[in-house]
Structure 1
Amino acid sequence: MTRVAVVTGGSRGIGRAVAQRLARDGMAVVIGYAGNDAAAEETIKGLDNARAFKGDVAEETAMRELFDLAEREFGGVDVVVNAAGLMVLQPVAEFDLDALDRMHRTNIRGTFVVSREAARRLRRGGALINFSTSQTRLLSPTYAGYAASKAAVEALSLVLARELRGRDITVNAVAPGPTATDLFLDGKDDATVEHIAKLNPMERLGQPEDIAEVVAGLAGATRWVNGQTIFVNGGAA
C-alpha cells in the first residue's frame, strides 16, 4: 500500500524540499499552500502521485477539505508535515500587534488546526511532524514573537504525542536553525547572512534539503522517536 503524506507550506522552502523528498521515498503527496499557484505547480511537477490544495492552515474548513482530498485521491493519510509558517522580527517594545496576531494565527492556530485534523485522520503507523525553531533556545533579539509562537508549537506537539497513546502514531517537532529560504533571507543584507552562517560549528546556513532528510526519517523508519523536539541547526544550539 502506498503511504500518503500531507505537507502544508509545501510550495516553497523547507516544505517544498520535504514534499519532494517524501515523494522520492515513494509516498503520494498532497501539498497545502496559501497563495502562490505557480510555485505549487512547480513543486508537484514531475512527481508521480502528487496534488496541490490552496487554503489557509488556520481555517478548519479548508484543512478538512485538504485531508478529504488526500483520502479521496489516495485512500488515507499516513504522514502529516506542518511546515506552513510566518516570521515577523521586531523588538518587543516596537512590535506591531496586528503583525503579531497574523503570525500567531498561522503559527499557533494553524498548527493546532492541522494537528487536530491529523489526530483524527492519521492511520496506525503514522507520523505528525510540526515545525518549531532553534530560536526557542537561541533567543536572539527581535525574535520574541516568533520564538513564542514556536514554543507553543513544541508544547502542542509533545502533549499530542501523549494523547495519542495506543494508536502507534508518533508526534514530533523539528526545530531548524538558520536555513537558506525566502522566509529567513527576507530583509537581511549579505553581511548579516554571512555573520549568522558562521555562528554554528559547520559555518554555513542550513539548506532545505538538510531539514527534509530529518523529516523523512521521522516520517519513515524512525519509530522510536516520539514526543520530542529535534534541533536541526549544525550545532548552533
Structure 2
Amino acid sequence: MFNGKSTIITGANKNLGKQTAIEFAKEGSNILLHYHLPSSANETEQLAKLLINDYNINAIIFGGNLSQEDITIELFDIAIEKFGKIDYAINNVGLMIRKPLFTNSLDEYNKMFDINVKASFLFLKYSELKLSEKGSVVMLTTSLLSAYTEGFSLYQASKAAVYWMCKTASKETQKKITFNCISPGPMNTPFLSGKEDESRINFLKNQAIEKRLTDVDDIVPIIKFIVKDGKWMTGQNLFANNGFLAPSA
C-alpha cells in the first residue's frame, strides 16, 4: 500500500501515465499529475477530480515543458509544498518522430532531444535534490534500445541517453534513492498507432509471444513493484515486451 506516500507522475493525462496515476491512487498515494500541453489541462483536471472522489487522496495538477529548468524546479517544489514530501517520481514524458536519420531536420533533432534527454536530465537532477531519503525514481524508456530497425534512430539515441543518465544517477545518489528504467515493448496507444500503418502494427504484434502489443496494464504492475518491493534493485533497465526482442527461429 502507498498510504502516506506522495508521487509525481509526468505525462499523467493519458495512456501509461494516466493508468499509473489511477493504480497508485487506489493504493493511497497522493499524486501530482503533470501534463505537457495547455490543451491537456482540462482532461488532467478531470482525472485529478476522479482520483480525489474515488480514492480519497490528494491530487493536484501541474502543466509545463520540463525541458525548462525553472518549470522542473517548480514541479518538485509544488509537490513538496502540497504534500510535505515526495517519495516516488515517475517520468513518462516522451516524444517520438519516426523518420530515417538522413531526413530528420536539426529542428526535429532538437525537439526530440529537448523532451527526451534534457527534460530527463532535469528530472533526474531534481529528483536527487528534492525526493525523500530512500525514495524511488522510474524512467520510462523503450525496448527499441535493443532493436535493430529503421526509422527510430533519434528516438533510440535519446532514450539511450536517458538510460545511461539514470544508471549513473544510481551510483552517484547521496540519499539512497533507487533509480531504474522500464523499457516497454511497442505499446497499444496513440503514441505508436499514429506513426505506424496496419501492416507494421501487425508485424510488431507478431514479434511478441502473445501476438499483441504491450498494454498499459502490463507495465503499471512493474512500476509498482520497483517503488514498493524492489528496493534492492537500482541502476537497472527492465525490458517488458513479451519476447518482442527474442529472435525467431
Sort the TM-score into its range (normalised by shorter chain): over 0.9
Question: Match of 2:233?
Answer: 225
Structure 1 position 89, deviation (Å): 0.9
Question: Match of 2:55?
Answer: none
2:35 to 33, 36, 40: 33
Tell me, which stretches of 5 or more residues in structure 1 are unaligned?
A: none
- Contact between 2:13 and 2:43, CA under 8 Å: does it hold in 1? yes
Structure 1 position 125, deviation (Å): 2.4
- Contact between 2:72 and 2:126, CA under 8 Å: does it hold in 1? yes
User: What is the aligned-residue identity percentage?
Assistant: 27
Aligned residues: 236
Name the CA distance, whole Å, in 2 between partners of 1:11 and 1:213.
18
- Contact between 1:139 and 1:147, CA under 8 Å: does it hold in 2? no
Question: Match of 1:180?
Answer: 188
Amino acid at match of 1:124: E
Question: Match of 2:20?
Answer: 18
Name the CA distance, whole Å, in 1 between partners of 2:59 and 2:29.
9
| 1:175-215: CA deviation from partner (whole Å, max 9, x where unpaired) | 11101111111132223212211111121111112111111
Name the CA distance, whole Å, in 2 between partners of 1:213 and 1:186.
26
Question: Match of 1:210?
Answer: 218
Name the CA distance, whole Å, in 2 between partners of 1:151 and 1:144.
10
| 1:17-60: CA deviation from partner (whole Å, max 9, x where unpaired) | 11112112211000111111122123323213211100111111
Amino acid at match of 2:104: F
Question: Match of 1:47?
Answer: 51
Question: Match of 1:108?
Answer: 117
| 1:160-182: CA deviation from partner (whole Å, max 9, x where unpaired) | 000015x2310001111101111
- CA RMSD between the two structures: 1.3
Tell me, which stretches of 5 or more residues in structure 2 are unaligned?
A: 53-57
- Contact between 1:80 and 1:128, CA under 8 Å: does it hold in 2? yes
